[in-house]
Chains A and B, each alone.
Chain A
Amino acid sequence: MTFLQQLINGIHVGSIYALIALGYTMVYGIIKLINFAHGDIIMMGAYITFVSLIMFNVPIWMAVIIAILICLISGILIERIAYKPLRNAPRISARITAIGVSLFIENLFFKIFGGNPRPFPVLIDPTPISLGSLQISMVTIVTIVVSILLMIALDLFVKKTKTGKAMRAVSEDHGAAQLMGINVNTTISITFAIGSMLAAVGGILYSTAYPQIDPFMGMMPGLKAFVAAVLGGIGIIPGAMLGGFIMGIAESFTKGYISSQLADAVVFGILILVLSLKPSGIFGKNVKEKV
């Protein structure tokens, strides 16, 4: 029973990692940029929900929608203002800009809200539901269900819709996509919007599970989600999902059966192992450099 409970704990945190990892992987897929500011969108989502609930007393569903909308717009703005002018610059410039954007957002929120951690309001009653001797909290169920629904929706979107097709085309080849009449700028904006939206949801779910928010809270889940994306093969959507779940479950089992202090070591150890055996990640394709 303890084993099953640990597995559920792992899937819970893993599904949050997977949601966030999707944003990293989509953005990387389309413009080959590691968007370091992605972790801070998580924090933004949590803070906006917090502010709408505490200061404006709006109902929960509205707070969630407001947070998603603001994060979505911020995602588009970040791309337009910070990354678009650098699209043809060397990749290192864009990467450094991404770090700058991340620091800017963190310190902006630090300035506005202060550095003290704040308690996040309880959105879902923590009392667990018993299934035999197994006890699962509503938070866990909601997190897993919401994450999986969003992942299915994203998969359908990318595979079945015209915009999804355009996204795949742009990620294959910018120039050719443009020649086929695809608006590359709009497609990239949509990718950032979707990624930020998932990060906002991830941020809200994360703060519901761990009800404490501070301006730097996005760093650790952001880093872990990034590792999850690399683990699964960066740029590949199912890879990010799988990577997220592997990370979460490995973390939970290490904490449960070995030692809390070793959790991060094991998780990053898996990354090193996978990358040394298959450098492009679990689902990664071996792409030869074009000459």
Chain B
Amino acid sequence: MIKAKKLISTILVGGILLSSLVGCSNAGSTSENAGNSNVIKIGGIAPLTGDVAVYGVAADNGVKLAIEEINANGGLLGKQIEYVVYDDKGDPTEAVNAFKKLTSNDKVEAIVGAVTSKPTLTVTPLAVKDGIPMITPTATALEVTSAGPNIFRACFIDPYQGEIMAKFAAEELKASKAAVIYNTADDYSVGVAEAFRDAAQNFGAQVVSFEGYNGDDKDFKAVLTNVKSQAPDVLFIPDYYTRVGLIAQQAKEVGITATLLGADGWDGVLGVNPEAVEGAYFCNHYSTDDTATEVQNFLKVYKEKYNEDPVSFAALGYDAMKILAAAIEKAGSTDKEAVVKALAETNVTSVTGTITFDENRNPVKDVSIIKIENGSNRLFTKMSL
């Protein structure tokens, strides 16, 4: 315990020192032509440094790629898009600063961001007060869009994934008995698991086992032994891929033969333990082997520009910008109310599917169900509720 405390304080002190250094160097990319009316200014908020930088950079890359494409095709309403992005470091306070800079200094017309849920939640009340059209590519927390009528998002929410997987288990896999194990310390895991449990009943599958485990555990055999005694047809494990690798391995060891199911946190599990998850299914925002032209084009251009395969955050960043651009085009101006109204009526086909919004401004779109086959991800089917 003493060790842990000491360690934490060392990390904290180090972190404070580091962040004070970083703070000076990140002034953002403000432009000189603030009064230029030949451009449409779009603001971005993303964690470009810090713990969650991997996600922020990917989403930001996606947004930039979309803007480049739009500009190359003649821009929006005959004007070029200018993109101003500030780093929120995954921190709520920084996100508020970024928002204030974007709205008062840069006078942007709309905002794409933020990327993670917490910073997004702190910015939304300000955005609602201002009325500025805002779309977050990837913040999944349920409350994000309920803040006000001008907040939208491009990703599906956590409960949606649970419902889709329940439907998939019951209708495609014909499962009659389902088991769920989830991480009690993680909101994402709990949210998806509960949605699955509640939806499974409606689709005709019985949830025979619903068990929680501790987030920092490494031994899941006791829980899995209980699951096994119920002999389920499918076992749903909504957690992040590092833990999924451990759980799947131990499920095999205790002799569970049920088909394993997962959610978007599984993206990356092949790098951890491909043998243990062979034959499993999980849902994701898009699949790289989707043959739709939008997807294949996106893959090609993204790879040319950034020299790596786009993760789903990049795809969602790209789609968020495309949705926003389509709404501005449809509104015919950058008038806030007109753009918000056009956003609500969105009907865009892009990388992550054909997107419309429900009354809570959450996207209604197909979810890609991916099957792990011979050690690689294969698009199995696309589903919606």
Whether chain B is bound by chain A comes out as yes
| Contact A212–B242 (Cβ < 8 Å) | yes
Question: Is A99 interfacial (CB-CB < 8 Å)?
Answer: yes
| Contact A261–B242 (Cβ < 8 Å) | no
A126 to B214 Cα, complex, angstroms: 23
Chain B residues closer than 8 Å to A263, beta-carbon distance: 214, 217, 222
Among the listed stretches A5-13, A78-86, A152-160, A181-189, which one makes contact with chain B, having 4 or more residues with CB under 8 Å of it? A5-13
Chain A residue nearest to B242 in the complex (CB): A117
Please give the distance in Å from B361's CB to the nearest CB on chain A: 35
Chain A residues closer than 8 Å to B218, beta-carbon distance: 210, 212, 220
Chain A residue nearest to B218 in the complex (CB): A210
| Leading 4 A-B pairs by shortest Cβ distance | A255-B222, A135-B255, A137-B253, A210-B218
Chain A 112-141 interface residues, beta-carbon cutoff 8 Å to B: 117, 119, 122, 126-128, 130, 135, 137, 139-140
Question: Is B22 interfacial (CB-CB < 8 Å)?
Answer: no
Please give the distance in Å from A112's CB to the nearest CB on chain B: 17
| Contact A220–B223 (Cβ < 8 Å) | no
Chain A residues closer than 8 Å to B337, beta-carbon distance: none
Chain B residues closer than 8 Å to A5, beta-carbon distance: 225, 228, 254
Chain B residues closer than 8 Å to A10, beta-carbon distance: 222
| Contact B3–A36 (Cβ < 8 Å) | yes
A255 to B219 Cα, complex, angstroms: 10
Please give the distance in Å from B249's CB to the nearest CB on chain A: 6
A166 to B219 Cα, complex, angstroms: 39
Question: Is B212 interfacial (CB-CB < 8 Å)?
Answer: yes
Question: Is A2 interfacial (CB-CB < 8 Å)?
Answer: yes
Selected from B1, B219, B249, the residue in CB contact (under 8 A) with A13 is B219
A263 to B245 Cα, complex, angstroms: 22
Number of chain B interface residues as a range: 35 or more
A263 to B218 Cα, complex, angstroms: 12
| Contact A135–B254 (Cβ < 8 Å) | yes
Selected from A135, A140, A219, the residue in CB contact (under 8 A) with B4 is A219
Selected from B214, B228, B253, the residue in CB contact (under 8 A) with A139 is B253
| Contact B219–A210 (Cβ < 8 Å) | yes
| Contact A210–B246 (Cβ < 8 Å) | yes
Interface of A is mostly: helix
Chain B residues closer than 8 Å to A259, beta-carbon distance: 212
| Contact B225–A211 (Cβ < 8 Å) | no
On A, residues with C-beta under 8 Å from B are: 1-2, 5-6, 9-10, 12-13, 36, 99, 102-103, 106, 117, 119, 122, 126-128, 130, 135, 137, 139-140, 209-212, 216, 219-220, 223, 251-256, 259-261, 263-264
By CB atoms of chain A within 10 A, which of B216, B223, B225, B229 has the most?
B225
User: With A102-B3, A103-B6, A117-B242 given, is the CB distance from A256 to B253 under 8 Å?
Assistant: no
| Contact B3–A2 (Cβ < 8 Å) | no
Selected from B7, B211, B246, the residue in CB contact (under 8 A) with A211 is B246
Chain B residues closer than 8 Å to A13, beta-carbon distance: 219, 221
Chain B residue nearest to A122 in the complex (CB): B275
| Contact B216–A220 (Cβ < 8 Å) | yes
Selected from A99, A126, A128, A210, the residue in CB contact (under 8 A) with B3 is A99
| Contact A2–B229 (Cβ < 8 Å) | yes
Selected from B2, B217, B225, B249, the residue in CB contact (under 8 A) with A256 is B225
| Contact B222–A252 (Cβ < 8 Å) | yes
| Contact B223–A260 (Cβ < 8 Å) | yes
A261 to B216 Cα, complex, angstroms: 10
- Mark B206-244 against chain A: 1 for CB-CB distance below 8 A, else 0: 000001111011110111011011000000000000100
Chain A residues closer than 8 Å to B252, beta-carbon distance: 126-128, 137
A-B contact pairs, 22 of them (CB 8 A): A2-B228, A5-B254, A9-B219, A9-B221, A10-B222, A36-B3, A99-B2, A99-B3, A122-B273, A126-B249, A126-B253, A126-B275, A126-B276, A210-B219, A251-B219, A254-B222, A260-B212, A260-B222, A260-B223, A263-B214, A263-B222, A264-B214
A99 to B9 Cα, complex, angstroms: 14
User: With A99-B2, A119-B245, A260-B214 given, is the CB distance from A6 to B222 under 8 Å?
Assistant: yes
Chain A residues closer than 8 Å to B245, beta-carbon distance: 119, 211-212
Chain B residues closer than 8 Å to A209, beta-carbon distance: 219
User: With A5-B225, A119-B273, A219-B4 given, is the CB distance from A260 to B211 under 8 Å?
Assistant: yes
Chain B residues closer than 8 Å to A254, beta-carbon distance: 222
Chain A residues closer than 8 Å to B214, beta-carbon distance: 260-261, 263-264
Question: Is B184 interfacial (CB-CB < 8 Å)?
Answer: yes
Chain B residues closer than 8 Å to A106, beta-carbon distance: 7
User: With A127-B252, A211-B249, A212-B246 given, is the CB distance from A252 to B272 under 8 Å?
Assistant: no
Please give the distance in Å from A11's CB to the nearest CB on chain B: 11
A34 to B196 Cα, complex, angstroms: 47
A117 to B221 Cα, complex, angstroms: 20
Selected from A126, A223, A260, the residue in CB contact (under 8 A) with B184 is A260
Question: Is B78 interfacial (CB-CB < 8 Å)?
Answer: no
By CB atoms of chain A within 10 A, which of B3, B4, B10 has the most?
B3
A2 to B246 Cα, complex, angstroms: 21
Chain A residues closer than 8 Å to B211, beta-carbon distance: 260
Question: Is B271 interfacial (CB-CB < 8 Å)?
Answer: yes
| Contact B225–A6 (Cβ < 8 Å) | yes
Chain A residue nearest to B251 in the complex (CB): A126
Chain B residue nearest to A117 in the complex (CB): B242
Chain B residue nearest to A36 in the complex (CB): B3
Given A211-B245, A212-B272, list of 15 further CB < 8 A pairs?
A2-B225, A9-B222, A10-B222, A12-B221, A103-B10, A117-B242, A122-B249, A122-B273, A128-B254, A212-B245, A220-B216, A260-B222, A261-B184, A263-B217, A263-B222
